[in-house]
């Protein structure tokens, strides 16, 4: 006889509670915690699950009583040791109470959420040295910038009006700032990884994170480095090209998050450009000599000034796209995409996605505008290298940038448009049911001549005719 489903569910939840408690307990045991370790944490987590089961039959006060009892035990355990330590800390105590709560949540909550929380607790406890090192590397300026941006976002974003203003109703303050928050948050994630890894990741990680934060800023930093130290020219060229290739990864992430319904239609040509730039980057890294170069200092993207500058650029691009579409058609949109893509690609990408989501722009036109913006950005970065870098760096970057521009131009020229693809697909022919069997559709005149009893359809010539005809052998028998 199979056990009851309720028994299996109870055993499963107890096993999960035991496993999560052991996971956190092992981490605390490695740190030689004086309050709780590999035995106390699983016991506390299972206690939370047991009290959760009892609460189903009795009352929720059972869980509260268990929590208060565990809190009292923690306080008693700290009475003697707190006098010996100047800063005893409360991390283990808080983690123990949290694991009790996770055990209780397992009974009536989502199992996946409980498992995720337990794993997060273990990871946070394990990464204590890295997290402390990251905070020390941040510095007061970075911390102040992040807090300032979070405060302004939380306070200002909810109160911004969510409607269009200005010419063509193209300026929506809420949507503009929301997209600014998204872009800055994505760049901030790269900046956090940059601060977390420091110079340990090498040139490749520097290029990857630089492309996520800002490929233009990375180009500026490494061009200046190459001018000051000529021996770093080769690696600077490699980092600049790699960071420029990462831009296409960033664009695919933006499309997947901002406009997931358009991802399949826009990802193919952008993936081709990603593949082309990746191959060019790999070739550059294989051919040129690899020097050791320190990671260039990156600017914190969460500072208020860069965020406001991006919001201003994005608003100008919104107006430019609306005006170009109104007065100049497709050619005007390409000009706007080129000009707005010079300093930054994100603004034209977001504007294009908004138009495509609102059915004001086709997918074929949308990806072409984004590619035009990226090619313009490559030209802008080449100009930065020419002005801020040395001639050797410009010579080393000219070939890969030229190949990228050629690949993008060929893509715009050879990639079939939606109308060309539709023209290659033969139209579906649906047979018409007529007396005497199945026949292909034919013009109304021919149909009327062959079957005078059937009235001429109002549909267009060569369209399919659907008739409900009941054949009865008694009514349609041939006369002798």
User: Any idea of the CA torsion for 454, 456, 458, 459, to the nearest 10 degrees?
Assistant: 80
Same domain membership, residue 450 and residue 349: no
Three-point CA angle 366, 367, 371, nearest 5°? 125
Query: Phi/psi of residue 432, each to 5°?
Result: -100, 140
Is residue 328 situated within a structural domain?
yes
Any residues with CB less than 8 A from the CB of 314 and at least 6 apart, and which?
176, 179, 180, 346, 347, 350, 351
CA angle (302 as vertex; 175, 121 as ends), nearest 5: 100
Pairing of strands 437-439, 432-434: antiparallel
Buried b vs exposed e over 119-140: b needs ≥16 C-beta within 10 Å? eebbeebbeeeeeeebeeebee
pLDDT score recorded for residue 474: 45
Token duo for residue 286: 């294989």
- 346 within a domain of the structure (yes/no): yes
User: Does one domain contain both 35 and 168?
Assistant: no
pLDDT reported for residue 423: 60
Q: Do 440 and 402 sit in the same domain of this protein?
A: no
Q: Is the residue at 452 inside a domain?
A: yes
Q: State the Cα–Cα distance between residues 55 and 108, nearest whole angstrom.
A: 10
99, 24: one domain: yes
Three-class SS state of 438: strand
Break the chain down into helix, strand, coil percent, rounded to 5.
75, 0, 25
* Axis crossing angle, helix 91-108 with helix 40-57, rounded to the nearest 10: 40
CB 31 within 8 A of CB 127: no
Question: What does the alpha-carbon distance between residue 147 and residue 304 come to, in Å, rounded to a whole number?
Answer: 10
How many Å apart are CA 139 and CA 319, to the nearest integer?
Answer: 38
Two tokens, residue 366: 């949308």
Residue 108 included in any domain: yes
Instruction: Give backbone dihedrals phi and psi of 233, rounded to 5 degrees, phi first.
Output: -65, -45
**Share above pLDDT 70 across residues of the chain, in percent, rounded to a whole number:** 76
Whether 115 and 180 share a structural domain = no
E strands, 330-404, in order: none
Q: At what angle do helices 215-228 and 202-213 cross, to 10 degrees?
A: 130
In a domain? residue 379: yes
Tokens of residue 435, six digits: 């007396």
Q: Examine the fold and report which residue of 382, 408, 423 is the final residue of a domain before the chain moves on.
A: 423
Q: Are residues 208 and 335 in the same domain?
A: yes
Distance CA 222, CA 237 (A): 8
* Predicted pLDDT at 478: 42
Q: Hey, what long-range contacts does 123-128 have (CB within 8 A, 24 or more apart)?
A: 125/24, 125/27, 125/28, 125/31, 125/91, 125/95, 126/27, 128/91
Q: Are residues 218 and 364 in the same domain?
A: yes
240 in Cβ contact with 218 (< 8 Å):
yes
pLDDT at 419: 62
Query: Which run of H or E residues covers position 432?
Result: strand 432-434
| Domain membership flag for residue 323 | yes
Residue 428, both tokens: 């579906």
Phi, psi of 439 (to 5 degrees): -130, 150
Q: Are 165 and 172 in contact (CB under 8 A)?
A: yes
Residue 276, C-beta contacts closer than 8 angstroms, at least 6 positions apart: 403, 404, 407
- Domain tally, the chain: 3
Q: What single DSSP character describes residue 224?
A: H
Closest CA to 353 of 259, 253, 249: 259
Q: Is residue 189 part of a domain?
A: yes
* Rounded Cα–Cα distance for residues 443 and 447 (Å): 6
Identify the pLDDT of residue 76.
79
Instruction: Quote the pLDDT of residue 468.
Output: 42
CA distances from 367 to 331, 362, 374, 402 (A): 15, 9, 11, 21
Domain boundary, last residue among 100, 126, 152: 126
Structural domain including 155 reads 144-423
- Do 121 and 248 reside in the same domain of the chain? no
Q: What is the pLDDT of residue 290?
A: 54
139 within some domain: no
The verdict on 39 and 180 lying in the same domain is no
Cα–Cα distance between 39 and 231 in angstroms, integer? 57
Phi, psi (rounded to 5 degrees) for 88: -65, -30
Q: Which residues of the chain have pLDDT under 50?
A: 1, 86, 292, 429-480
Same domain, 48 and 166: no
**Residue 172 CA, distance from chain mean position:** 23
- Do residue 209 and residue 107 come from a single domain? no
* Pair 315, 383 in one domain: yes
Residue that has been written with the tokens 């959420």 in this structure: 113
């Amino acid at each position: 006889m199979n056990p009851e489903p309720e028994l299996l569910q109870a055993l499963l939840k107890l096993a999960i509670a035991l496993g999560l408690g052991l996971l956190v307990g092992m981490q605390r045991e490695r740190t030689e915690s004086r309050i709780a370790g590999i035995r106390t944490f699983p016991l506390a987590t299972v206690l939370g699950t047991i009290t959760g089961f009892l609460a189903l039959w009795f009352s929720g006060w059972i869980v509260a009583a268990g929590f208060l009892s565990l809190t009292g035990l923690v306080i008693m355990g700290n009475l003697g040791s707190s006098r010996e330590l100047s800063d005893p800390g409360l991390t283990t105590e808080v983690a123990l109470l949290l694991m009790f709560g996770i055990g209780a949540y397992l009974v009536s909550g989502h199992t996946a959420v409980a498992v995720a929380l337990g794993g997060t607790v273990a990871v946070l406890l394990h990464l204590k040295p890295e997290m402390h090192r990251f905070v020390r590397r941040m510095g007061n300026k970075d911390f102040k910038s992040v807090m300032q941006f979070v405060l302004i976002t939380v306070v200002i974003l909810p109160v911004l009006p969510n409607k269009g203003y200005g010419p063509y109703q193209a300026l929506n303050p809420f949507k503009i700032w929301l997209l600014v928050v998204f872009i800055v948050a994505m760049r901030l994630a790269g900046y956090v990884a940059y601060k977390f890894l420091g110079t340990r990741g090498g040139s490749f990680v520097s290029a990857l994170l630089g492309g996520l934060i800002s490929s233009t800023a990375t180009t500026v930093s490494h061009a200046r480095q190459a001018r000051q130290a000529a021996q770093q020219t080769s690696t600077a060229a490699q980092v600049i090209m790699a960071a420029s290739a990462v831009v296409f990864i960033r664009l695919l992430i933006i499309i997947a998050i901002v406009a997931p319904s358009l991802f399949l239609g826009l990802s193919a040509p952008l993936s081709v450009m990603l593949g082309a730039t990746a191959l060019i980057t790999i070739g550059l890294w294989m051919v040129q000599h690899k020097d050791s170069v320190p990671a260039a200092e990156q600017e914190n993207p969460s500072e208020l000034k860069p965020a406001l500058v991006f919001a201003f650029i994005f608003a100008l691009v919104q107006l430019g796209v609306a005006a170009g579409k109104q007065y100049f058609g497709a050619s005007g949109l390409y000009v706007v995409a080129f000009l707005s893509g010079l300093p930054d690609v994100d603004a034209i990408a977001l504007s294009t996605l908004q138009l495509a989501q609102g059915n004001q722009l086709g997918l074929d036109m949308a990806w072409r505008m984004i590619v035009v913006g990226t090619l313009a950005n490559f030209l802008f970065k080449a100009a930065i290298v020419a002005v801020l870098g040395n001639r050797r760096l410009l010579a080393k970057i000219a070939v890969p940038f030229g190949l990228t521009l050629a690949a993008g131009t060929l893509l715009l020229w050879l990639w079939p448009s939606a109308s060309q693809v539709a023209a290659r697909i033969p139209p579906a022919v649906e047979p018409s049911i007529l007396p005497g069997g199945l026949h292909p559709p034919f013009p109304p005149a021919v149909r009327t001549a062959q079957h005078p009893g059937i009235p001429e359809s109002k549909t267009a010539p060569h369209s399919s005719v659907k008739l409900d005809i009941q054949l009865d052998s008694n009514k349609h028998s041939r006369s002798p």
